[in-house]
């Protein structure tokens, strides 16, 4: 992997039923060190794409210093294509009219602009250790007894 990055953030999201109970998993590794952190959270009603995007947001929000060079590794074409192909910036200019997950995209852009972020897509469920770990965390999060409320999604889903 590119050694110009200070942190690698691996992410995954899951939703059972889509929409249904869901969760995200994040594995963060600091390049050149053994330092590693994991995060996960589950929600009672959400979508897979929301969890994929929230995983990236949470990983970036955990960084303590601005302008960190980050490589986000994800199996989500939704997230990666939206950023790398520039779609989200067009959505922002048009006020996210007709787009899903504007609450998360707004939150993403705030934290994205605080760092130097590159993206790498990997095929999911393809024996990539960190991606497999993120998947385990996301599924575990989605199946916990105590699940958080995805308030924006639940208010929009009605």
pLDDT tens digits for 83-129? 999 999 999 999 999 999 999 999 999 999 999 999 999 998 889 99
Residue 126: per-residue pLDDT:
87
Q: What is the DSSP letter of 95?
A: T
Task: Provide mean pLDDT across the span 2-19.
Answer: 89
Q: Are 112 and 57 in contact (CB under 8 A)?
A: no
Mean pLDDT of 138-157: 96
Instruction: Note whether residue 94 is domain-resident.
Output: yes
Tell whether 96 is covered by a domain.
Answer: yes
Query: Mean pLDDT throughout 12-39?
Result: 97
- Catalytic site residues? 12-13, 52, 75, 125, 135
H or E segment at 44? strand 36-46
* Cα 114 to chain centroid, rounded: 16
pLDDT more than 70, % of the chain: 97
Is residue 141, in this structure, part of any structural domain at all? yes
Range of the domain at 130: 7-157
Q: Considering its fold, how many domains does the chain have in total?
A: 1
pLDDT at 157: 75
In a domain, 150, yes or no: yes
What pLDDT score does 158 carry? Answer: 64
pLDDT in tens, 51-70: 999 999 999 999 999 999 99
Q: At what angle do helices 48-61 and 129-142 cross, to 10 degrees?
A: 110
In this predicted structure, the answer to whether residue 1 has a pLDDT above a threshold of 60 is: no
Verify cis geometry, omega within 30 degrees of 0, for the bond prior to 19: yes
CATH number of the domain bearing residue 103: 3.30.420.10
Average pLDDT of the chain?
95
Write down the pLDDT at residue 2.
44
Asked if residue 20 belongs to a domain, the reply is: yes
2 domain-assigned: no
């Amino acid at each position: 992997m590119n050694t110009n990055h200070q942190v690698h953030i691996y992410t995954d999201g899951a939703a059972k039923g889509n929409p249904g109970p869901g969760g995200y998993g994040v594995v963060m590794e600091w390049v050149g060190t053994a330092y590693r952190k994991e995060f996960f959270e589950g929600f009672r009603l959400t979508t897979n794409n929301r969890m994929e995007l929230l995983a990236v947001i949470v990983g970036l929000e955990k960084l303590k210093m601005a302008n960190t060079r980050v490589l986000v590794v994800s199996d989500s074409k939704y997230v990666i294509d939206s950023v790398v192909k520039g779609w989200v910036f067009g959505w922002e200019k048009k006020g996210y009219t007709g787009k899903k997950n504007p609450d998360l995209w707004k939150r993403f852009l705030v934290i994205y602009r605080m760092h130097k972020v590159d993206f790498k897509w990997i095929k999911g469920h393809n024996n990539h250790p960190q991606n497999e770990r993120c998947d385990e965390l996301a599924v575990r999060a989605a199946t916990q007894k105590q699940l958080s409320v995805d308030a924006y999604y639940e208010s929009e889903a009605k």
